[in-house]
Amino acid sequence: MIGVFDSGFGGLTILKAFLDKLPEYNYIYLGDSARAPYGNKSPELIYKYTEEAVDFLFKKGCELIIVACNTVSAEALRKIQQKWLPENYSTRRVLGVIIPITEALVEEVKKSPGKNQVGIIGTRSTIESKAYSRELEKLSSDLEISSQACPLLVPLVEEGWVKRKETKMILKYYLRPLKLKKIDYLILGCTHYSILFKEIEKVMGKRCQVFDSPKFVAEKLALYLRRHPEIEGKILKERKMVFYTTDDPQRFRDLGEKFLGQKMEKIEKVSLQ
């Protein structure tokens, strides 16, 4: 099984890309909706929640877990990979979403000399961690990077307020400083923002290229599986999906199907504590 973990619904956009790119595998999705959003919580609490989530998924038989949450990728992934994993599940792997999108952006920058203004939007925790800036600076020293925390967007998306005029007004407010800087590229540093992709593109205008996670994460996962047959060979290929939520399953289905773009069959409520 391939596990996909997010604090709520946003990771379903990543799972949707996996189903398009790699439909043959079995997947387990875990959304910790009862404790979402993670973006305004302390690094210590984010790590605790992440440890509980990945342990749950490994016990369900996952060989590989994709942390489809930028906050977790920024605040907890490295410690999980370097310390917790070797001590508990040394033959299994946990991957994040930040490196795939930063690599894709830098590849695009190299094709367009003179365009080096990069904007990043994300939760407060992701932006304060500077994880995106660090990864971009490792790959290129020529970038001018601007960041903007957007703490209200995840709760609005989780409430299903995507089409509301209030959400559009708040989105314009958050994006205005980056638009004034005339950025060339914008990274959506939260998987929830995929649902707002078209509206973000509209606000930013044609001169700004918007980079969203799902496509790039799916491409990198396909490459990773080809490079690691010792892991790929253990993953069942029955095209099955199982969904777990820490909150109300019916609410998870109602909003989750909009994120995933298809019907969700089995959804089970679980506790991670």
Q: Which entry of 62, 150, 190, 208 is annotated as an active-site residue?
A: 190
Provide the 10 A C-beta neighbour count for residue 21. Answer: 14
208 catalytic? Reply is no
Buried b (16+ CB within 10 A) or exposed e, 193-228: bbbbeebbeebbeeebbbbbbbbbbbebbeebbeee
CB 29, CB 4: distance < 8 Å: yes
CB 58, CB 144: distance < 8 Å: no
Q: Which entry of 62, 69, 150, 208 is annotated as an active-site residue?
A: 69
Q: Which residues contact 152 (CB under 8 A, 6 or more apart)?
A: 170, 174
The residue type at 238: E
Token couple for 69: 């949450």
190 catalytic? Reply is yes
Q: Which residues are catalytic?
A: 69, 190
